[in-house]
Amino acid sequence: MNTDVLIVGAGLSGLLAAREVSKAGKRVLILDKGKSVGGRMATRRIGSGTADHGAQFFTVRSPQFRTLLDEWLKAGIAFEWSRGWSDGSLVSTRDGNPRYAINGGMNALMKHLAVGLDVRVNVRATSMHAVEGGWEIRDEAGVKVSAKAVLLTAPVPQSLAILDGGPVALAPKDREALDQIDYLPCITAMARVEGRVNLPAPGAIQRLHAPIQWIADNRQKGISQTTILTIQANAGYSHQLWGRSDEEIMRSLRVDLMPFLDEKSQIVEWEIKRWRYSQPNITYPERFLLAEGQPAPLMFAGDAFAGPRVEGAILSGLAAGEKLKDLV
Ligand SMILES: Cc1cc2nc3c(=O)[nH]c(=O)nc-3n(C[C@H](O)[C@H](O)[C@H](O)COP(=O)(O)OP(=O)(O)OC[C@H]3O[C@@H](n4cnc5c(N)ncnc54)[C@H](O)[C@@H]3O)c2cc1C
């Protein structure tokens, strides 16, 4: 298989980059190791309900993202969820800035963005090497794809692991910069509750410095028929819980949930997700990195390049795609 641009990662940055390259009439193939597109824009079915268990909401700061969001709002894909969150106390912490979410769950946006693109899921890229006129990427089944240019959008340690699986050596300056990028872990629980949940409207609390930093009711959010709570531990607490069994983790998180449940309410079903790379805590100062001194274009993008959030991943993807279409 031959293509102009090969992108590893069908998260926000990979899909946005692919759309730019494809609009310019170039061939683009995207590989993702996940079961479906989306990466950290993740939504899961639990019984007859739905829960966002990666990104919960997003804000908009740049005109570029504003233009995209306006399209999604007009098409009924995105909606404004809130103008700030309560911390669970009586003091209002609402700052008036709109927070947006996606109808049907965050992953619905990703399915929309992937329409018309050649995305192969369940494919983990494991190594790459230079060939005449570009690169050859190999997946774990041994299948090879060659491309004139490669864009790696996985969390940076996972992108570097692909390079380390083969002979590609980055310039020391690039390697050093990428090696510094680190991510916070996040343990997330999804709990289906029968009975009343007492979360303040519009259905979430955020406590930035508490062990449980976020609790949201996906039904109040408007994306679930049933009451499913998403509970996220902060980085310190996630570290502490990391090696424990799912049952032990849920037992600990349940204690923090109790103040928000009625006496008769019960958790009837739950799942735990361990995000090793939830959000970068050290980022690169540019929107992408074009590796120096390589025989063909090799780029890195993702939320570690333009801000540790949905908007950062989008801006990074757009900038990388814009650059790539001129390189091939
Ligand atoms: C728990 C959690 C809560 C969050 N909350 C918010 C929030 O409320 N607001 C906000 O703005 N942001 C939030 N974020 C961050 C936001 O989700 C990310 O910034 C954004 O989705 C990152 O997109 P990306 O394209 O850079 O990376 P990703 O979405 O991680 O995409 C990278 C893709 O690469 C794939 N991949 C990795 N290695 C390989 C390989 N070897 N071969 C093939 N594919 C590979 C992965 O499967 C993945 O799909 C949250 C993230 C998490 C995890």
Q: In which residue are the tokens 């002979």 written?
A: 167
- Asked whether residue 245 carries a pLDDT value surpassing 90, the answer given is yes
pTM above 0.85, yes or no: yes
Show the tokens assigned to 120.
């192969």
The response to whether residue 13 sits with its C-beta less than 6 Å from ligand 1 reads yes
CA 173–ligand 1 middle distance (angstroms) = 25
The string of pLDDT tens digits covering residues 148-170 is: 999 999 999 999 999 999 999 99
**Residue located nearest, by CA, to atom 32 of ligand 1:** 154
Q: Could you tell which of 121, 242, 279, 314 is best to mutate to test the pocket of ligand 1, judged by most ligand atoms within 8 Å of the CB? A: 279
* Nearest CA owner, ligand 1 atom 8: 56
Residue ranges of domains in the chain, CATH in brackets = 2-35+121-181+282-327 (3.50.50.60), 44-110+183-280 (3.90.660.10)
Quick one: tokens of 227? 């009451």
- Ligand 1 centroid to residue 62 C-alpha, Å: 20
Q: How many helices (H) and strands (E) does the chain have?
A: 10, 17
List of E strands, the chain: 2-8, 28-31, 43-46, 49-52, 78-82, 99-102, 118-120, 125-131, 134-139, 144-152, 183-194, 204-206, 212-217, 228-233, 266-280, 289-290, 298-300
Which pairs count as long-range contacts for 125-132, CB under 8 Å and 24+ apart, including other chains? Answer: 125/8, 125/31, 125/33, 125/162, 126/162, 126/165, 127/162, 127/165, 127/166, 128/162, 128/163, 128/165, 128/166, 128/168, 129/166, 129/167, 129/168, 130/168, 130/294, 130/295, 130/296
Out of 93-107, 130-144, 219-233, least confident range = 93-107
Atom of ligand 1 nearest to the CA of 317: 25
10-48 residue pLDDT tens: 999 999 999 999 999 999 999 999 999 999 999 999 999
Task: Report the nearest-CA residue for atom 20 of ligand 1.
Answer: 310
Using one digit for the tens of pLDDT, what is the confidence trace for 263-306? 999 999 999 999 999 999 999 999 999 999 999 999 999 999 99
Confidence check: pLDDT of 90 > 90: no
CB contact set of 237 (below 8 Å; sequence gap of 6+)? 187, 211, 212
CA-based nearest residue to 218, from 254, 243, 192, 194? 192
Q: Please tell me the distance between residue 13's alpha carbon and the centre of ligand 1 in angstroms.
A: 9
Please give the Cα distance from 315 to 318 (Å, whole number). 5
Determine whether the shortest distance from the Cβ of 287 to ligand 1 is under 6 A. Answer: no
Q: Which atom of ligand 1 is nearest to the CA of 155?
A: 30
